Structure 1
Amino acid sequence: MSGLDTTQLFAVAAALGWASGLRLYAVVFLTGLAGTLGWVQLPAGLHVLQNPLMLGASALMMATEFFADKIPGIDTVWDVLHTLVRIPAGAALAAGVFGMDQASTAAVAAVLGGLLAATSHAAKATTRAAVNTSPEPFSNWGLSLAGDGAVPLMLWLSWVHPWVFFAGLAVAVLVMGVLIWVLAKFLRQLLRRFARAIPN
Structure 2
Amino acid sequence: MGTEILPWVFTTGWASGINAYLVVLILGVAERFFHVAGVPAALGRTDVMVVAGILFLLEMFADKIPYLDSAWDTVHTVIRPLVGATIGYLIGHESSSLAAAFGAATGGISALAAHLVKAGTRAAVNTSPEPASNVLVSTGEDVTVAGVVSLAFLNPWVAASIALLILVTGAFLVLYLFKRLRRVRSRYADWGARHGLTSEPPSDATRIPARPPAPETEPLEQRRRPE
TM-score, normalised relative to structure 2: 0.75
Distance 1:188 1:94 in 2: 38
Decide which of 166, 169, 175 is 2:163's aligned counterpart.
169
Aligned-partner Cα distance in 2 for 1:148–1:26? 8
Aligned-pair CA distance for 1:85 = 0.6
**Corresponding position of 1:56:** 50
2:34 & 2:71 partners in 1: Cα distance? 36
CA contact (8 A) 2:14 2:111 kept: yes
CA-atom RMSD in angstroms: 2.6
Q: Distance in 2 between matches of 1:185 and 1:170?
A: 23
8 Å CA contact retained: 2:5, 2:103: no
- Preserved CA contact (<8 Å) 2:88 2:107: yes
CA–CA distance in structure 2, aligned partners of residues 191 and 88 of structure 1: 36
Which residue of 2 is the match for residue 139 of structure 1? 133
Match of 1:123 in 2: 117
Gaps of at least 5 residues in structure 2 are 190-197, 200-227
**For residues 43 and 29 of structure 2, what CA distance do their matches in structure 1 show?**
8
Cα distance change of structure 1 residues 93 and 186 upon mapping to structure 2, 3 Å threshold = farther
Q: CA deviation at 1:53?
A: 0.8
Aligned mates of 2:10, 2:62 — CA distance in 1: 26
What secondary structure sits across from 1:82 in the alignment? Answer: helix
Once residues 183 and 86 of structure 2 are traced to their aligned partners in structure 1, the CA distance between those partners, rounded to angstroms, is 35
1:122–1:180 contact (8 Å) kept in structure 2: no
Counterpart pick for 2:12 among 16, 30, 53: 16
**Contact map agreement 1:11 1:159 (CA 8 A) in 2:** no
Q: Which of 1 and 2 has higher RCO (CA within 8 Å, sep 6+)?
A: 1
Q: Report deviation, 1:187.
A: 6.8
> Where does residue 179 of structure 1 map in the other structure?
173
Task: Check whether the contact 2:92–2:102 (CA below 8 A) recurs between aligned residues.
Answer: no
Residues 40/101 of structure 1: CA separation in 2 closer, same or farther (3 Å cut): closer
- Closer/same/farther in 2, CA of residues 12 and 189 from structure 1, 3 Å limit: same
Identity of aligned residues (%): 33
* Higher helix proportion: 1
Measured against aligned partners, the alpha-carbon deviations of 1:126-155 in whole angstroms (never above 9, x if no partner) come to 111111111101111111011110111111
Q: Tell me whether 1:66 sits opposite 2:60 in the alignment.
A: yes
Contact 1:8 1:158 (8 Å CA) reproduced: no
Structure 1 residues 95 and 191: alpha-carbon distance in aligned structure 2, compared to 1, 3 A threshold: farther
1:137–1:95 CA distance, 2 compared to 1 (3 A): same
If you compute each CA radius of gyration, which structure gives the higher value, 1 or 2? 2
Matched-pair contact (CA < 8 Å) for 2:12–2:149: yes
Contact persistence 1:18–1:117 (CA under 8 A): yes
